[in-house]
Amino acid sequence: MQKLVIDANVLIRFLRADHPEHFQRARSLFQEAEIGNLRLVLLSSVLAEVVYVLTSVYQCERSTLHQTLEPFWVHGGIECPEKEVLQDAMQRFAATNLDYMDCYIAAYSVANQLGVSSFDRDFRKFADVDWNVPGGSE
């Protein structure tokens, strides 16, 4: 079975439906995956790009992005290597005003029982994240 990595532009064209030809092609791709003719792979870096474009270019509300994007990591024809991390990151993103990458780092660190080393004080907002500043506390 053919396996393809999904690029951010495919997800964006499908979600926005603002380019009719690309929307139809993207929809066909997802339908082929749904019926089992091929397998798609959604990488965490691609999801980060999608979140960035949808919030910055299209002004999508962060609170609705989790609901909008969730079908892509629970879809039977789409593999998502970090599904649990992405779900947690999107929930953190929806609940805070922090950058998506900070939410992803927090979710990844918690899922893998790792601390976070950063000068970014925003990590204090996550009670479950073991945050430390390089060289000591500020």
- Spatial neighbors of 117 by CB under 8 A, at least 6 apart, are 132, 133, 134
Is pLDDT of 48 > 70? yes
pLDDT of residue 59: 93
Tens of pLDDT, residues 76-109: 899 999 999 999 999 999 999 999 999 999 999 9
Is pLDDT of 138 > 70? no
Of the candidates 83, 92, 97, which has an alpha carbon nearest to the alpha carbon of residue 127?
A: 92
The whole-angstrom separation of Cα 113 and Cα 82 is 15
Tens of pLDDT, residues 24-47: 999 999 999 999 999 999 999 999
- The pTM assigned to this predicted structure is 0.90
Q: Torsion over CA of 132, 134, 136 and 138, rounded to 10 degrees?
A: -80
**4 by DSSP, 3-state: which?**
strand
Confidence bin at 117 (pLDDT 50/70/90): very high
pLDDT: which is higher, 128 or 75: 128
